Structure 1
Amino acid sequence: MPKNRVTFSIPVPPSENHCFFTAGHRRILTKEAKEFMTEAALKAKIASKKANWKIVNGRKVVLLLYFYFPNRRKKDTHNTLKVLMDSLEGILYEDDYWALPRIMDFGIDKDNPRLEVVAYLK
């Protein structure tokens, strides 16, 4: 694991099914998605500042993702990536084109559901 990395925890992202609604021909973010994105961005900014993280244009950023759900209800971790990657743009990478999300594991933590993120330059 590289020394220069950013580590932080955020709430489990909402499923893409709960992130958008359609009005006419437009997809609009739901209140739940906006709130998640705001909190995730804030926590990522704090962690990246502590780690002296600098966005490097044209460099890939690996994101190791560890999901801890509140219950055993089946959830699709891949269905959370869109809103997650968008919320970290401009903080860990300039554009999510450069993000390499890797779902490492998932589990249950009734007392502290969360997503743990470890980011480093490839």
Structure 2
Amino acid sequence: MVVPASSAPCQEQIFLADDPDFDLRTLLPGAHQHPYRRRPFFCLGLALASDPDDASLTDVTIHRLCVQGRDELSMFLAAGRHIEVFRQKAEAAGKPLPITINMGLDPAIYIGACFEAPYHAVRL
């Protein structure tokens, strides 16, 4: 059976942060952990970033993301981890660090993200 893409039950949707109706708080379900944390969290977000000085050096790490506003998330970057080194380099250069947040991935990708290679071995 072939289902034409236009009538498939699942359709790709693209949301851009600069759209006036964009709001993370309404687009994605965020769990409220307990009464003392007033902001919702997204769990198991896989962050991907590259070294600002050498884009072939990359890092993927798993994070819990706190929704701060309609288009803003925060996450803790542990000292000494590759992605934190990338952030420090970008900050020293006065530039933002582009990061992608990926959710709902194949479990094998999350398992692979738990492996921490030596710093100069994280090339794609």
Q: Is TM-score (shorter-chain normalized) higher than 0.5?
A: no
What band does the TM-score fall into relative to the shorter chain? under 0.3
Structure number with higher helix proportion: 1
Structure number with higher strand proportion: 1
- Compute the TM-score of the two structures, normalised by the length of structure 2: 0.26
Q: Which structure: larger Rg?
A: 2
Structure with higher RCO (Cα < 8 A, 6+ apart): 1
